[in-house]
A = this chain, B = another copy of it.
C-alpha cells in the first residue's frame, strides 16, 4: 500500500462537472490519503472485507472502505480496538475509513428495539444481550475506532411507514445530529489525523420531508452529507426520484454520500444526479453465494451450466481472477465448498465495482459521462433482462 500524509486537512474538491447531467468529478482529501470521486466503498463489517485480505482490497483500487460500528461494538468491542491503536491499525488498513453510526443496524437487525428520545434499546443479534445506543455512544464508539469519516446517529423509518412516523424520524434525526455534533469535539483523532462528521438526511419518499430534513442538517454546515432512508425496499423509480431530489438539496461544495446503493445501473443514475460516494454489501455478499457481476448483468457461476465453461467470469474484465481462472474452475470451487470460491468471486466483484467507478471518473474527466452512462447502463440492463427471461423460460 502507498504512503499517505497524516497531516493533510480533510477537504473535498470538485475537479470537473458533467456538461449534460449533475454528475461531478471530485477528490476527497482524508488523513489517510486522497480518494477520487465518485467512489465506491467496499464494506468491511467486522474488521474484514469478507473473504479477502486488505492487500487484495487495496489492489482492486479501493482507497476508502466502510466499517460497521454496530458489529465492531459487539465484537471485539470498540475499547479493545482503541487500545490496539484504532481500527486502521487493528485491521491493518492504510487507506481511508468511514464508519457508519449503527443507526441502520439497530433498527434493521433488531425487531425488538425500543426507541426513545434518548436513543434505542436493542438486543444483540449474536447472543440476545440488551444494549442501548444513543447519539453520544455512537460518537464515543466511532471516535474510539478512529475513522476518518464519522456518520451521525440517525433514525431510519422503514419503507411503508406512515407519513407521521417518517416525519418523527426526520425530527429526531435532526435533534440527534445536534447531539452528535456537540460531543464530536475537535477534528483531530487520537491518532493525529483529521476526522470529520457527516450528517444524514431522512424523509423516506416524501418530497416535503426530504426538503425539511435537508434544510435542518445543512444548517449545521458539516463537511459532508449522506442521503439515508433509501434502498430500503422502495421501488426503483421512487429511489431514483428521491436521489435526484435529495442530491440537489445538498450543498454543491460538500461530498454527497448515498447510503447502501447499489446495482451498477443505480450507481450510474445516482452519479448523474450528483452523488459522490457509495457503499453496498452487494459485491461481497453476492460473491459468497456464487453470484458474480459482469458487464452484461449478474452471472450465477455456481450453476450447472458453467461446469465446463472455459470463459473467465467476465470476458471483458481485466482483474487477476479473470486473467487466471475459468467459470468452470470457480463453479467447481463452489461445488466443493472451497473457501477459495468466496475469495475469487469477491475479488472479481470488488474489481468490477472499482472498474465501474474508474470508468465513470474517466468519462467525467473526458466530458463524455452521459454517453458512457447510457452505454454501460444499457448493456447491464439488457444482460439482466436476458438473464431474467432465461430464468422465467426455464421456470426456475
Q: Contact residues of A with B, CB < 8 Å?
A: 46-48, 50-55, 75-76, 80, 83-84, 90-92, 307-308, 310, 320, 324-326, 328-329, 332-333, 335-336, 338-340, 342-344, 347
Contact = CB atoms under 8 A, between A and B. Distances in A.
Nearest to A341: B48
Contacts of A91: 329
A80 B338 contact: no
Given A83-B308, A332-B76, A92 B53 contact: no
Contact of A338 (B50, B338, B340): B50
A145 B16 CA distance: 54
Contact of A55 (B320, B326, B335): B320
9 contacts: A48-B336, A48-B338, A48-B339, A51-B339, A53-B344, A76-B336, A90-B328, A92-B329, A339-B342
A277 to B, nearest CB: 25
A310 B51 CA distance: 23
A5 to B, nearest CB: 20
A72 B308 CA distance: 15
Nearest to A288: B339
Contact of A84 (B329, B333, B343, B344): B329
B335 A92 contact: no
Contacts of A329: 47, 84, 90-92
A187 to B, nearest CB: 27
Contact of A75 (B308, B335, B344): B335
B333 A47 contact: yes
B338 A46 contact: yes
A336 B47 contact: yes
B332 A75 contact: yes
Contacts of A92: 324-325, 329
Contacts of A342: 339
Nearest to A80: B308
Contacts of A75: 332, 335-336
Given A80-B308, A325-B92, A333 B48 contact: yes
Contacts of A90: 326, 328-329, 332
Contacts of A84: 308, 310, 326, 328-329
Contact of A340 (B51, B325, B328, B336): B51
B76 A335 contact: yes
A307 B76 contact: yes
A192 B328 CA distance: 23
A57 to B, nearest CB: 10
Nearest to A342: B339
A340 B80 contact: no
Nearest to A332: B76
A55 B91 CA distance: 22
B328 A48 contact: no
Given A55-B320, A91-B329, 19 more contacts: A46-B336, A47-B329, A47-B336, A48-B338, A50-B338, A52-B340, A53-B340, A53-B343, A53-B344, A53-B347, A54-B324, A55-B324, A75-B332, A76-B335, A84-B329, A90-B329, A90-B332, A339-B342, A339-B343
